[in-house]
Structure 1
Amino acid sequence: MENVLFAGWESLGRTLVIGVLAYCALVIFLRASGKRTLSKLNAFDWVVTVALGSTLASVLLTKNVAFTDGALAFALLIGLQLAVTWISVRARWFRRFITGEPAMLLHRGTFLPDAMRRARITKDEVRAAVRSTGVLALSDVEAVVLETDGSLSVVNRSAATGPNSLEGVQGDAEHN
């Protein structure tokens, strides 16, 4: 039976050397690609972040994954992220496909049931988001919006600055 507590000095040495090299490579790739690569502006960004972490773990701990394979995987993931964001900035239909659009779930204290059903969000989840901002009454809320990153934004009535303050948000009261 193989010893699960200590696999030998060679294994530790490989993990140390590959760990340092993979970490440095990842940092260099991330610095070269810009801050957007690790942003969590939408679900796609989050998936890329998780995939980079998973790739780093595989390179570190899987003996049959060479450092160059891992570095290529980092470059591929980051390159795809750059390509997708580049296209997203230039093509609205692609941006909508990749990121979706925000959805208003509550408007001026009134739940929007159709939007909530499409988003698979419950009234209790909306109420929890409102409470987390310190607001006690739904009537004090201008809107609750499910953002493209999956977070819930709460806009207080006092913060709303007119009829166009929520411009661009799908699922407003007139459409539901």
Structure 2
Amino acid sequence: MHSLGDALIGDWRSAAFAGVKALALFLTAAAAFRLTERRTIAQFAPFDWAVAVAVGAIIGRTATASDSSWLTGAVALVVLLLAHSLIARLRFLPAFRHLVDPPVRELIRDGEVNQRNLRLCGITRADLDSVLRQQGHSSPDTVALALFEAKGSVSVQSGTGPSSDSDLSGGDPPAAR
């Protein structure tokens, strides 16, 4: 049976090895991320989040597991980041982009709220009103166009005149009007 000290502190050599592996994995991940394209958290698509969580899990698990080497963790990290890079590049193909990125959806056009698209996006009317207030609008009446973007943000164009879909959606027409 182990003592309380062993349970809290453990073997100092194992702790030192875990620290060295964690540092080596951190440096490996930092170098690998440096070599891939830059994407900020604000621009994360769902597949970016999956990679970020997986990278953290690989680093955490490999660093603390006595049966996993740095090489095992490094190979897992590199393969994961290469797969992420491949998916990011395949998103330029329209057929593949539709599998990875959700469609841009119109929430408001010329002051009219699209209730169906609110439901499809999982946004309540209170959520929409909050976004509008944050962007200086007291009601949908002053909004020409509000889009739920593929990355989960809502972009809002002021005014009551006709709007240009390509100005806010990066050239792709909004889906599911």
Interval containing the TM-score (normalised by the shorter chain): 0.7 to 0.9
TM superposition shift of 1:112: 0.3
Normalised TM-score (structure 2): 0.83
Quote the Cα distance in structure 2 between the aligned partners of 1:143 and 1:41.
Answer: 23
Query: Pairwise mapping of residues 11-22 of structure 1 onto structure 2 (< 5 A)?
Result: 11-22=14-25
- 2:133 is aligned with what amino acid? R
Work out the number of aligned pairs and report it: 171
TM superposition shift of 1:71: 0.4
TM superposition shift of 1:93: 0.9
**Between the two proteins, what is the percent identity of the paired residues?**
20
What's 1:170 paired with? Answer: 174
Taking a change above 3 Å as real, the CA distance of residues 21 and 138 of structure 1, as seen in their structure-2 partners, is same
SS state at 2:8 partner: coil
Normalised TM-score (structure 1): 0.84
Render the CA deviation track for 1:119-151: whole Å, top value 9, x for unaligned.
Answer: 222111111111222322322222222111122
Taking a change above 3 Å as real, the CA distance of residues 135 and 161 of structure 1, as seen in their structure-2 partners, is same
TM superposition shift of 1:36: 3.9
Quote the Cα distance in structure 1 between the aligned partners of 2:79 and 2:42.
Answer: 17
What's 2:79 paired with? Answer: 76
Quote the Cα distance in structure 2 between the aligned partners of 1:38 and 1:133.
Answer: 21
Taking a change above 3 Å as real, the CA distance of residues 116 and 137 of structure 1, as seen in their structure-2 partners, is closer
Conserved in 2, the CA contact under 8 Å of 1:59 and 1:66?
yes
Provide the alpha-carbon RMSD of the alignment. Answer: 2.4
- 2:80 is aligned with what amino acid? L
